[in-house]
Amino acid sequence: MRVSFTVNGRRQEADDVWEGESLLYVLRERLGLPGSKNACEQGECGSCTVRLDGVPVCSCLVAAGQAEGREIVTVEGLADFARQRSEHTGCATGACNSVGGDGISLDEAQRWAAKGQDSQTGEGAELSPVQQAFIDAGAVQCGFCTPGLLIAADEMLERNPNPTDADIREALSGNLCRCTGYEKIMDAVRLAAARQSEAV
């Protein structure tokens, strides 16, 4: 069958899609967007998380045909998505209006703000605040869980700009990571939140 939908703001079409294919498969194998990852294909790891009409979902559990006419944002489009949101609201995580809460202090979060000298590959790429924070905090090791975590974390910060640690853990509880022990992922999300509230 033919399936067409919008991915990262661009209209996309795929032909000869087998009816049992997932949105994840179509993104990865037909549209050249392998950023969303295929770790479990049973909704138990979150590596394939994309936004479907704004809502974070496991793209492995969305039948390709169900995506017809919908809007998808994948990790490949996250930086653009955040930039447009920022232009729209003046806030890159989309939730800068709320103030207060009991998030981590900027000082604490910036313990990890050490900048590297040689991001030799992909240097100069424009990143969303969450993406930058994941790099800065050392939240990326093998990186296979990273795309899904970025989508989930970005969406959480959009809703909740000053999350407590328990809020972060709950929001990311559908994203497995096997390398980091999650501590640096916590640091990264705290850092993104702190930078955001500082930017206001």
Task: Write out the binding residues for another protein, residues 24-63 only, by CB under 8 A.
Answer: 28-29, 32-47, 49, 55-58, 60-63
- The 64-93 site mask, x for binding another protein (CB under 8 A), equals -xx-x-----xxx-xx--------------
CB 91, CB 195: distance < 8 Å: no
Which segment (89-97, 109-117, 190-198) binds another protein by CB under 8 A? Answer: 109-117
Give buried/exposed letters for 36-64 (b at 16+ CB in 10 A, else e): bbbbeeeeebbbbbbbbeeebbbbbebeb
Residues whose CB is less than 8 angstroms from the CB of residue 106 and which lie 6 or more positions away in sequence, other chains included: 194, 195, 197, 198
CB of 150 to another protein, least distance (A): 6
CB 79, CB 126: distance < 8 Å: yes
State which residue, 105 or 120, has the beta carbon closest to another protein.
Answer: 120
CB of 194 to another protein, least distance (A): 18
Can you tell me which of 1, 9, 90, 98 binds another protein, judged by CB under 8 A? 1
CB of 99 to another protein, least distance (A): 20
* SS3 (DSSP) at 95: coil
Reported in sequence order, the residue ranges of the chain that DSSP labels E, i.e. its strands, are 3-7, 10-14, 49-52, 55-58, 71-73
By CB under 8 A, what part of segment 114-143 binds another protein? Answer: 114-123, 125, 127, 131-132, 134-136, 138, 140-143
State which residue, 69 or 90, has the beta carbon closest to another protein.
Answer: 69
By CB under 8 A, what part of segment 157-186 binds another protein? Answer: 164, 166, 168-186
The CA-based dihedral angle spanning residues 45, 28, 65, 176, taken in that order and rounded to the nearest 10 degrees: 10
How is residue 65 annotated by DSSP? G
CB of 130 to another protein, least distance (A): 8
State which residue, 15 or 123, has the beta carbon closest to another protein.
Answer: 123
What stretches of 110-164 show up as alpha helix (H) in DSSP?
129-136, 146-159
